[in-house]
Amino acid sequence: MTALVRRPSNDSMTMRAAGPGTSSPPGDDHEPSDQPAEPVDVLGPVADEAVQIEAAESELRRLGLEEIRVRHHGDLARLEAPHRDLTALAAEPLRGEVLRAVRSAGFRSVAVDLDAATEPHDG
pLDDT for 3 equals 45
40, part of any domain: no
Please state the pTM of the whole predicted model.
0.59
38, part of any domain: no
28, part of any domain: no
pLDDT tens-place values along the chain, 123 residues long? 444 444 444 444 444 444 555 555 555 555 555 666 665 545 566 678 999 999 999 999 999 999 999 999 999 999 999 999 999 999 999 999 999 999 999 999 999 998 875 555 443
65, part of any domain: yes
pLDDT for 34 equals 66
Structural domain span for residue 51:
45-112
79, part of any domain: yes
pLDDT for 26 equals 57
Does residue 97 sit in helix, strand or coil?
Answer: helix
pLDDT for 24 equals 52
CATH of the domain at 74: 3.30.70
68, part of any domain: yes
CA dist., res. 70 & res. 111, Å (int): 10
Q: What Å distances lie between residue 17 and 24, 45, 84, 100, CA to CA?
A: 12, 32, 63, 52
Give me the number of domains the chain comprises: 1
pLDDT for 18 equals 47
Q: How many CB atoms lie within 10 A of CB 86?
A: 15
pLDDT for 104 equals 96
- Whether 97 and 64 have beta carbons less than 8 Å apart is answered as no
Does residue 99 sit in helix, strand or coil?
Answer: helix
88, part of any domain: yes
